[in-house]
């Protein structure tokens, strides 16, 4: 019986260590919550994830554009087999310019043999419309633009 209190103490110690680790993780998540990604960056990231996953439902894209015709055009399969990523993987996304109602989000692409002619970077121009960030234009860049100063 003398070994039982030691096992209970070890179990309590392990439980306390686990609780401390969870608390530290939660505190770290709190830091992320206080410094979230810019909503325009979140919008472009979500749009790119749909394109990477080759989602072919126009409704999935309508929230990213003011004009639903653009969403419809994105789902046209052309000669690309279903399930084929429509964009390469990206290395970084960040705001390169911003105002209270507009933002430019730079996307730096990973080199990919399946996308040999892809630009080094794409800059998406977004506008804040009815409380959501929508894409109004995009341009290819040979050099990555500088990030916008932090606010």
pTM summary value: 0.75
Phi-psi region of 101 (alpha: psi -120 to 50; beta: other; left: phi over 0): alpha
Residue 148 gets the label, from left (phi > 0), alpha (psi -120 to 50) or beta, of beta
**Spatial separation of the C-alpha atoms in residues 73 and 58, rounded to whole Å:** 8
pLDDT of residue 35: 55
Would you write out the chain's pLDDT as a tens digit for each of its 151 residues? 555 655 554 544 444 443 333 333 434 444 334 457 999 999 999 999 999 999 999 999 999 998 889 999 988 867 788 889 999 999 999 999 999 999 999 999 999 999 999 999 999 999 999 999 999 999 999 999 999 987 6
- Please name the helix (run of DSSP H) or strand (run of DSSP E) that holds residue 128, with its range, or none: strand 121-129
Helix (H, G, I), strand (E, B) or coil at 65: strand
DSSP element (H, E) containing 151: none
Closest CA to 61 of 142, 49, 79: 49
């Amino acid at each position: 019986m003398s070994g039982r209190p030691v096992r209970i103490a070890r179990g309590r110690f392990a439980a306390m260590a686990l609780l401390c680790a969870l608390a530290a993780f939660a505190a770290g998540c709190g830091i992320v919550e206080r410094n979230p990604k810019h909503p325009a960056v979140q919008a472009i990231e979500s749009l790119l994830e749909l394109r990477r996953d080759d989602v072919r439902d126009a409704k999935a894209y309508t929230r990213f554009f003011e004009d639903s015709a653009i969403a419809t055009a994105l789902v046209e399969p052309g000669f690309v087999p279903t399930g084929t990523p429509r964009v390469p993987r990206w290395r970084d996304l960040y705001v390169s310019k911003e105002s209270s109602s507009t933002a430019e989000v730079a996307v730096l692409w990973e080199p990919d043999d399946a996308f040999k002619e892809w630009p080094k970077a794409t800059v998406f121009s977004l506008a804040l419309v009815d409380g959501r960030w929508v894409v109004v234009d995009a341009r290819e860049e040979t050099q990555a633009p500088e990030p916008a100063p932090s606010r």
